[in-house]
Amino acid sequence: MKGIVLAGGLGTRLYPLTKVTNKHLLPIYNKPMILYPLEALVLAGITDILIVTGGEWATDFARLLADFKSYGIRNLYFAYQEKPLGIAHALGLAEAFVNGDKCVVILGDNVIEGNILKAKKRFERMERGALVLLKEVPDPQNYGCPVFDEAGRIVRIIEKPKEPPSPYAVIGIYFYDAEVFSIIKTLKPSERGELEITDVNNAYAGRGLLAYEFLEGWWGDAGASIDAWLWVNNLVAQTSANKLNL
């Protein structure tokens, strides 16, 4: 299974910090943010990794990760997204890297207390389809929120619903088979001009091929706002992250 970390975008929600660097290079407690999703992948045994980035600080990632093998990464690659055209667009740049294998995608500003081992093992047993991680949150209206049928299957995901159909958020960790790249090629830009990852997940849900697991431990979206970034910093300082056992 291949690992993909998406670390592009302009990081405007963290201005003015991101006027001088990519948001994924900002510190989370005692290390740069990008190291947390990389560690999560390595902890799950995924060591062939592609980082998709963009903007004027892309070369800073290479300088930070020049000694990538010291982090347990076997092979590290980079792709460059020329314009911030959405998460699904960034993922589409990884097609040659994935090369027909399964993959797990982590947004570069996602930090977790625990690990993705349970989800990875379940996805390995799946012949085809996709799997998303869910977390119960107090404000599902701010995220992609799953709609379940009577059998407990996800039938669709609604992005930032005014009236959330469930108390769960789809967090930025996704598992896909190689069909994901064919789906991305069929997408049309949303109103904000981006290819949306929710549309990818809904394509799988519409085929009855979207599974899910609940994430154990806390989850933080460190790029959501300055307050969220501070909150994740404090969580990591108090409890640490990427634990094998909770």
Q: Do residues 37 and 106 make contact, with C-beta atoms less than 8 angstroms apart?
A: yes
| Rounded percentage of the chain residues whose pLDDT exceeds 90 | 94
Q: Which residues pair with 5 in a beta bridge?
A: 51, 106
Q: Do residues 181 and 95 make contact, with C-beta atoms less than 8 angstroms apart?
A: yes
Return the number of other C-beta atoms located less than 10 Å from residue 210's C-beta.
24
pLDDT at 127: 95
Q: Which SS3 state, helix, strand or coil, does residue 13 take?
A: helix
Q: pLDDT tens digit string along 20-75?
A: 999 999 999 999 999 999 999 999 999 999 999 998 888 999 999 999 999 999 99
Rounded Cα distance between 215 and 94, Å, is 25
Return the number of other C-beta atoms located less than 10 Å from residue 243's C-beta.
14
Band (9; pLDDT cuts 50, 70, 90)? confident
Q: Which residues pair with 28 in a beta bridge?
A: 31
pLDDT at 10: 81
**pTM, to two decimals:** 0.96
Band (246; pLDDT cuts 50, 70, 90)? confident
239 is written with which tokens?
């409890």
Residue 11 has pLDDT above 90, yes or no: no
Q: pLDDT tens digit string along 202-241?
A: 999 999 999 999 999 999 999 999 999 999 999 999 999 9
Pairing, β 48-53 against β 2-7: parallel
Rounded Cα distance between 212 and 170, Å, is 9
CATH classification code of 2-238? 3.90.550.10
φ and ψ at residue 77, rounded to 5 degrees: -130, 165
pLDDT at 47: 98
Rounded Cα distance between 132 and 201, Å, is 8
